[in-house]
């Protein structure tokens, strides 16, 4: 089992460009999450999906959209990237909300 | 007051020492608790869940004190490979809240 996979691993964007970060899990988990982590700081929840077909805002949703494509896949879209979105993005999944989460390896995004 | 608070450290201890950190949480109705470790430039990984009665996994012991609203992590006989950031995680009303982490550095 691969667990949680994320693509791409690295990305450089210019201000105003758009892109989609992909995440997939093979653990049959119901819940999936997107976090960002800035240097020297903790994880901040962007959006989450408690179950297939639902999505909810987290702590820092502005500038992002998400799609829960099916039970396995949860994507994060930046419509118009800004330098403030330079960060490491982690996707995670869990059996349900409130249970332990398992993280993907992260996407390192730089917006110039 | 933050919902989950940790001493950011760094804790700098010699190899073989015992080290402990606490994490306090504000919601007395919090239901489940976890410790994660995060290595530099890597994803957080689940270290252990924290049970009401306390639990041990090798050199690691986790305890929960509901009366004082904190959880603790004790590492015995510390190894160089234990150097990492340790994240406290609290489930509060089905919302998972991550602490900012405590940095641990083990020196030879």
Instruction: Please indicate if any CB of chain A lies within 8 Å of the CB of B32.
Output: yes
Positions in chain A whose pLDDT score sits under 70:
1
Instruction: Please indicate if any CB of chain A lies within 8 Å of the CB of B46.
Output: yes
pLDDT, chain B, mean: 94
CB A11 within 8 A of CB A109: yes
Of A88, A97, A100, the CB nearest to B46: A100
**Which of B44, B46, B48 to probe the A interface (max A CBs under 10 A)?**
B44
**pLDDT above 80 (res B8):** yes
**pLDDT above 80 (res B93):** no
List, in order, residues 6 or more apart from B2 with CB less than 8 Å away: B26
**pLDDT above 80 (res B23):** yes
Query: How much is the pLDDT for B80?
Result: 97
Query: How much is the pLDDT for A73?
Result: 98
Query: How much is the pLDDT for B74?
Result: 97
Query: How much is the pLDDT for A2?
Result: 83
Summarize the confidence of residues B34-57 as an average pLDDT: 94
Query: How much is the pLDDT for A76?
Result: 98
Query: How much is the pLDDT for B11?
Result: 95
**pLDDT above 80 (res B42):** yes
Q: With an 8 Å Cβ cutoff, are B95 and A100 in contact?
A: no
Query: How much is the pLDDT for B33?
Result: 95
Instruction: Please indicate if any CB of chain B lies within 8 Å of the CB of A105.
Output: yes
Angstrom distances, CA of residue A74 to CA of A54, A94, A110, B107 = 11, 13, 21, 40
- A:B CB pairs within 8 Å: 40
**B70/B24 Cα distance (integer angstroms):** 4
Instruction: Please indicate if any CB of chain A lies within 8 Å of the CB of B87.
Output: yes
**A29/A16 Cα distance (integer angstroms):** 34
Indicate the pLDDT class of residue B96, thresholds 50, 70 and 90: confident
């Amino acid at each position: 089992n691969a667990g949680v996979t994320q693509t791409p691993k690295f990305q450089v964007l210019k201000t105003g460009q758009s892109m989609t970060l992909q995440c997939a899990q093979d653990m049959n988990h119901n819940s999936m999450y997107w976090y960002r982590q800035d240097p020297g700081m903790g994880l901040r929840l962007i959006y989450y999906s408690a179950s297939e077909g639902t999505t909810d805002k987290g702590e820092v949703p502005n500038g992002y959209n998400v799609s829960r494509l099916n039970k396995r896949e949860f994507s994060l879209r930046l419509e118009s990237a800004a330098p403030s979105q330079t960060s490491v993005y982690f996707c995670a999944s869990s059996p349900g909300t409130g249970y332990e989460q398992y993280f993907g390896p992260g996407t390192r995004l730089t917006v110039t | 007051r933050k919902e989950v608070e940790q001493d950011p450290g760094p804790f700098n201890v010699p190899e073989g020492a015992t080290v402990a950190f606490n994490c306090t949480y504000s919601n007395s109705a919090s239901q489940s608790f976890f410790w994660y470790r995060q290595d530099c430039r890597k994803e957080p990984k689940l270290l252990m869940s924290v049970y009401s009665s306390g639990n041990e996994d090798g050199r690691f012991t986790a305890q929960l004190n509901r009366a004082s609203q904190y959880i603790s992590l004790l590492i015995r006989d510390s190894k160089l490979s234990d150097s990492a950031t340790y994240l406290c995680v609290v489930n509060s009303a089905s919302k998972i809240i991550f602490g900012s982490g405590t940095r641990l550095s083990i020196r030879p």
